[in-house]
Amino acid sequence: MYRIKKTVKLFQNKNKIKFIFMNIHQEITIKCNEVCRFILSLLAIGIVKSSLFHQVKKKYPKVSEQDINSFLKFLITNQIIEEFKESKYENSIVSRQVNFYSTIVPNSESMQDELSNKCVLILGLGGVGSCISYFLAQAGISHFIFVDSDKVENTNLGRQALYFKDDIGKYKVDVISNKLRKLNPNLIIEKHKFTVQSKEDFMKIKHIPDIVVNCLDEPNSYFTGTWVTNYYLGLDIPMINGIGYRGRAISLGLTTIPGKTICWNCANASYKNAIKGYVPILNHNPQAGVTSPLANFIGSIHAQEVINILCKELTPILTNRIGVIDFLTLDIKWYKLTINSTNCCPICRRRNNI
Ligand SMILES: [Zn+2]
């Protein structure tokens, strides 16, 4: 059975039809006669090929099979229609996501199969980490490792996802795990309630994840990013380091793909000449101000980046650059980062033979 893809919208202007692809910002306009419009009306609800030919020939006997075939070929080649088969994700929580990617990747169902089986390690379940865990569970990720030693406090409730009044005093890893299981009862979750104070602490996590998302801001992101990089880069695990909000400025990235992109250590050496060679001496102040939309905005971008990294059909967007957004103006300044012999850390030097 053929039908018009769910991500394609049709608009008509006299004898013209415009196909708008909702998810890739593209459109195609063609001249369209009455027969083509009739074919499109059949394809809108879905129809098997033989039945389509039968109905068109019955209504327009002069139209040749060759003409119908060439119009169908045009629609298939341009990804306007698809051969419809019942999807195993049809009524699942990820059905819209599978639809979204259907015109972006060759097989969005197999991409979802791949994504669902990945294991994500989230370090820190505060404003950014709690949001990322929620979005990734919604995206169908089935295996999580959570690390956080904190218990839920009243001041967390104003920005951190999934925490409510009756959670106060409970461990965040327990609360998040219970909430996410209400979304997907089959989740596999490993919980760790220790405070990360060095890279050696990661040895307590026995399972090797497919990706690490560092949302630890204590003592500060500079140090936690370095610990995560030094431990997991050596294990060939991709990672996102970027906690990032400081007042009205929020930072996006950095994504590290081992052996392919600049890492957190190398980036810190080249990021902003003004701070080159300096390391922070004040630890993160947990009472630093932030709004809920601000924290969750970073969380949502980084959750999408996790999907981009885990699906080989997609492309990570936060490699070799850090974006700093002024939240009051939405201006983004991108710091492009390149690896070279002067900023290269020992791990990348070994890997890249620099
Ligand atoms: Zn490096």
What average pLDDT is seen over the chain? 89
How far is the C-alpha of 90 from the C-alpha of 88, rounded, in Å?
6
- Does the pLDDT at position 318 exceed 50? yes
User: What is the 227 CA–ligand 1 centroid distance (Å)?
Assistant: 12
User: What is the 210 CA–ligand 1 centroid distance (Å)?
Assistant: 19
For residue 194, what are the contacts with CB-CB under 8 A and spacing of at least 6?
A: 147, 149, 201, 204
Q: How would you list the strands of the sheet with 143-147, edge to edge?
A: 188-192, 143-147, 119-123, 211-214, 239-241, 255-256
- Does the pLDDT at position 32 exceed 50? yes
CATH superfamily assigned to domain 117-352: NAD(P)-binding Rossmann-like Domain (3.40.50.720)
CB 145 within 8 A of CB 118: no
Averaged pLDDT, 117-138: 96
- Does the pLDDT at position 161 exceed 90? yes
User: What is the 188 CA–ligand 1 centroid distance (Å)?
Assistant: 32
User: What is the 231 CA–ligand 1 centroid distance (Å)?
Assistant: 12
- Of 15 and 85, the structure prediction assigns the larger pLDDT to 15
User: What is the 131 CA–ligand 1 centroid distance (Å)?
Assistant: 28
User: What is the 220 CA–ligand 1 centroid distance (Å)?
Assistant: 19
From 299, 313, 320, select the one nearest 122 (Cα to Cα). Answer: 299
CA-atom Rg of the chain in angstroms = 25
H helices within 184-278, ranges in order? 221-232, 264-270
What per-residue confidence (pLDDT) applies to 338?
83
Percent of the chain, pLDDT > 70? 92
- Does the pLDDT at position 269 exceed 80? no
- Does the pLDDT at position 298 exceed 70? yes
**Of the given ranges (37-46, 123-132, 249-258, 281-290), which has the lowest mean pLDDT?**
281-290
pLDDT band at residue 139 using 50, 70 and 90 as cut-offs: very high
- Does the pLDDT at position 278 exceed 80? no
Structure tokens at 282: 């004040």
Averaged pLDDT, 45-56: 93
**In which element (H, E) is residue 127 found?**
helix 127-138
205 class by beta-carbon count within 10 Å (0-12 exposed, 13-18 middle, 19+ buried): middle
Show me where the domains of the chain are located.
2-83, 117-352
pLDDT band at residue 197 using 50, 70 and 90 as cut-offs: very high
DSSP string, 128-161: HHHHHHHHHHHTT--EEEEE---B--GGGGGTST
How far is the C-alpha of 215 from the C-alpha of 221, rounded, in Å?
8
pLDDT band at residue 275 using 50, 70 and 90 as cut-offs: very low
Averaged pLDDT, 146-158: 96
Structure tokens at 101: 């990617």
User: What is the 225 CA–ligand 1 centroid distance (Å)?
Assistant: 12
Bridging pattern class, strands 321-326 and 255-256: unpaired
pLDDT band at residue 274 using 50, 70 and 90 as cut-offs: very low
Please report how the helices 292-310 and 108-116 are oriented relative to each other, as an axis angle in degrees rounded to 10. 110
Strand ranges inside the chain, DSSP E: 2-4, 8-13, 16-21, 26-31, 81-83, 119-123, 143-147, 188-192, 211-214, 239-241, 245-246, 249-252, 255-256, 321-326, 331-336
User: What is the 300 CA–ligand 1 centroid distance (Å)?
Assistant: 26
Tell me the per-residue pLDDT of 328-347, one tens digit each, with 9 for 90 and over: 888 888 888 888 777 788 88
**Of the given ranges (44-48, 143-147, 150-154, 216-220), which has the lowest mean pLDDT?**
216-220
For residue 64, what are the contacts with CB-CB under 8 A and spacing of at least 6?
A: none
User: What is the 347 CA–ligand 1 centroid distance (Å)?
Assistant: 6
What per-residue confidence (pLDDT) applies to 85?
79
